[in-house]
Chains A and B, each alone.
Chain A
């Protein structure tokens, strides 16, 4: 057995040194390579997982925001429709009010105009009456003052009628109303 071991070149003490060398290498690689690298890989894995979780959370939030926004938009649309309907109703009311007021005003203006015409006619009538009386008084005076023949009387009557027509032309309301 010893011969076999010697012929194979087996040296237990060298084996021990090699074993020690391997354990030392294992410890040093674990210390300087595999430990830190494993840590970095784990950190990166965690970071990637965290990023993915964050992205999923952001996506969920975005979807939720989108839904909320859609609901808000729908509400705003309904509110807008309501506002438009209210505005149309108010505009219609306003239009009716304006029309009603315009009608009232037109009636008032017409009534005022009629009253004004009435007043003017009355004034014209009164003035005509007054002037007719003055003319009659003037003719009477002239007749009394002068001795009138038949031909002269006819001329006076014509002049009287001409005066009346002239006054009637100057006062159209008076003539219409009369």
Chain B
């Protein structure tokens, strides 16, 4: 690889592009002969996309399924990136900020765009002003910081978890090598970390996915509507209880 390329492509990029190629090939294999009665990989893709669409509908609200392609791509991509480090010869691309920050920024841009599309520019900006409006000198900075904190927390959480997990895995493997060198007994001490990695990888991918959906829901106002509906529902219950005749 030429020296100048290192500013553009590193080993993590190569690994992530392998995941991209793998996913595209799986997608092509699963959908090249689509049938109303699914078989093989088509089943898998249908189950996955059906689940994502349903999740988007429930989490984001009516029309939430239009975000399903983005969120579906994020989950499966981050999941495979997280698990790639378990395959011998590969590393986990999400253990670098160069991977997690772009993903978080994509989510950030998408969230803001969805907010504008759902509420209009005025409604979107009023979202920052908050309620009551005359508290805007406080509300606007707080909301702006909150919005900036979202991609920051998304990227740093994923990076920190995967970096820590990968680092401890390497350290435990080194410890195993040291034990072997000293005792000539092969002790697979890193296996506990491998099992942990298999658990943490999917969990972190799901957290990234679910937070992205929650941010979209908040930006598009569905979250507030849900709270309002819940409040109305509870208020209705209270009125119903008040209307009941008191027991003598």
Count of interface residues, chain A, beta-carbon cutoff 8 Å: 33
Q: Identify the closest chain B residue to A8 (Cβ).
A: B97
Bound-state Cα–Cα, A14 to B30, Å: 31
A81-132, CB < 8 A from B: none
Q: Identify the closest chain B residue to A19 (Cβ).
A: B102
B49 in the interface (beta carbon within 8 A): yes
Bound-state Cα–Cα, A44 to B42, Å: 14
Interface contact B7-A11, CB-CB below 8 Å: yes
Chain B contacts of A16 at CB under 8 A?
8, 102
Interface contact B69-A34, CB-CB below 8 Å: yes
Q: Identify the closest chain A residue to B9 (Cβ).
A: A17
Interface contact A29-B23, CB-CB below 8 Å: yes
A76 in the interface (beta carbon within 8 A): no
B70 in the interface (beta carbon within 8 A): yes
Chain A contacts of B38 at CB under 8 A?
40
Chain A 21-62: CB-based contact to B (< 8 A → 1; otherwise 0): 111111011101111111111011001000000000000000
B103 in the interface (beta carbon within 8 A): yes
Bound-state Cα–Cα, A26 to B73, Å: 6
B197 in the interface (beta carbon within 8 A): no
Interface contact B45-A25, CB-CB below 8 Å: no
Chain B 22-62: CB-based contact to A (< 8 A → 1; otherwise 0): 01100110110011101000100110011001000000000
A25-B73, A25-B77, A41-B50 known; A14-B27 Cβ under 8 A: no
Bound-state Cα–Cα, A13 to B106, Å: 15
Chain A contacts of B36 at CB under 8 A?
40, 43-44, 47
List 28 contacting pairs A-B, 8 Å CB cutoff, sorted by A: A9-B97, A11-B7, A11-B98, A14-B7, A14-B9, A14-B10, A14-B98, A15-B102, A17-B13, A22-B73, A22-B77, A22-B102, A25-B23, A25-B24, A25-B77, A26-B69, A28-B23, A32-B24, A33-B31, A37-B31, A37-B34, A37-B42, A37-B45, A37-B46, A37-B49, A38-B49, A40-B36, A40-B38
Which residue numbers of A lie inside 8 Å of B, CB to CB? 8-11, 13-19, 21-26, 28-30, 32-41, 43-44, 47
Which residue numbers of B lie inside 8 Å of A, CB to CB? 7-10, 12-13, 16-17, 20, 23-24, 27-28, 30-31, 34-36, 38, 42, 45-46, 49-50, 53, 68-70, 72-73, 76-77, 96-99, 101-103, 105-106
